[in-house]
Amino acid sequence: MFIAAPAGLCSDRVKQGKAALKRCDYGQAVSLLSQAIRLNPKDAEAWVWRGQAYDKEKDLENSIADYTEALHLKPESAGVYVLRGDAYRHNREYPQALDDYDIAIKLKPHSADAFTSRGVYFFDRRDFNSAISDFDQALQFDPNHASAIADRRLAYACRISWVTCAAWKGDTFGWLALAFMGAIFFAFGSIIIAGYRTRQDHIDRAFRRDPNGQYDFYPRSWGKGYVVPDTSAAQRLRRLLQQQYNRSNVFSLAMCAVLGVLLFEGKFSPRFLNYFLWPTSSTRQRSLQFSE
């Protein structure tokens, strides 16, 4: 009885900690899960959930430590390798992240989550072709995996090209073309961000007909734009927009006007043009300031 009682209390604390994590009360989740670990240090589930709570608090060192302890207890857990790989990636420890993703895939070769996370790793490293390959693999195992779908579209939109190569080599025309690319990304992001703010209940997936999905960021009408179903993908696009922003100022008005004609397939309207032709750069910059 003495042994069973702490085990029962541990299970209760884990359930309470998971509930706190679900309602975004991360401090309370850490406290409850720490109690569970004190009651039963060999409960791998408690270590994993506390690691996720630490991750949400951006305490990546403790998150990694908890995942590592969980793996000591259950070394064959592919899902925990994915979680620790994500924590390593968020902490910019890229070699360790890739190692964990590779191990997860070896342990569970049909894991859509493992392939998606490794695809995000490749995306962050600007290896867009490898990212697309992993997202494709993930979608073979789970065709409805929302993150893989959204991230693959983003990878297609950002895939390396002669434009970025020329820019990196200092080619003047490459920088010129990169400025136009920045304007295009700005247009993509403006529509997506506007959808996140005001259109979440009215958006449908009215995509351009394209078998590879690389143009799925385009909307078909003003009232029905496409919103990325995974918030992390939109956040990565936001960071990309901020990187490209300074390069796109000179050309953004002209390019966005052209996009207004192209994206709406002839349904050009002054309302759409006004949406893009903001008068000042500060107004445009404010449009990117939505909460991560």
Instruction: Tell me the chain's radius of gyration from C-alpha atoms.
Output: 22
Determine the pLDDT at residue 45: 83
Give the HSE-up count for residue 110: Cα atoms under 13 Å, Cβ half-sphere: 4
Angle at 16 between CA 41 and CA 18, to 5 degrees: 80
Task: List the pLDDT tens digit at each of the 292 positions of the chain.
Answer: 434 445 566 677 787 778 887 888 888 888 888 888 888 888 888 888 888 888 888 889 999 998 999 998 888 889 999 999 999 999 989 999 999 999 999 999 999 999 999 999 998 887 888 998 999 999 999 998 888 887 887 777 666 454 444 444 444 454 455 455 555 555 555 554 444 443 333 333 333 333 343 333 333 333 333 333 344 544 554 455 445 444 444 344 334 433 433 333 333 344 333 333 333 333 333 333 322 2
pLDDT at 199: 36
* pLDDT value of residue 146: 83
What integer pLDDT is reported at residue 220 of this predicted model?
A: 32
Neighbours of 231 (CB within 10 A): 14
Question: Measured between alpha carbons, how far is 109 from 114 in angstroms, rounded to an integer?
Answer: 9
In the prediction, which pLDDT does 53 show? 87
Which pLDDT belongs to residue 130?
Answer: 92
Which domains are assigned to the chain?
A: 4-158 (1.25.40.10), 162-286 (no CATH)
Distance CA 248, CA 163 (A): 14
Q: Are 181 and 244 in contact (CB under 8 A)?
A: yes
| Other CB atoms within 10 A of residue 194 CB | 17
From CA 130, how far away is CA 134, in angstroms rounded?
A: 6
Q: Residue 64's pLDDT is what?
A: 93
* Buried b or exposed e, range 16-49, using 16+ CB within 10 angstroms: bbbebbeeebbebbbbbbebbbebbeebbbbbbb
Q: What is the pLDDT of residue 151?
A: 81
Q: In the structure encoding, which two tokens stand for residue 74, read together?
A: 């259950």
Does the global pTM surpass 0.95? no
pLDDT at 96: 94
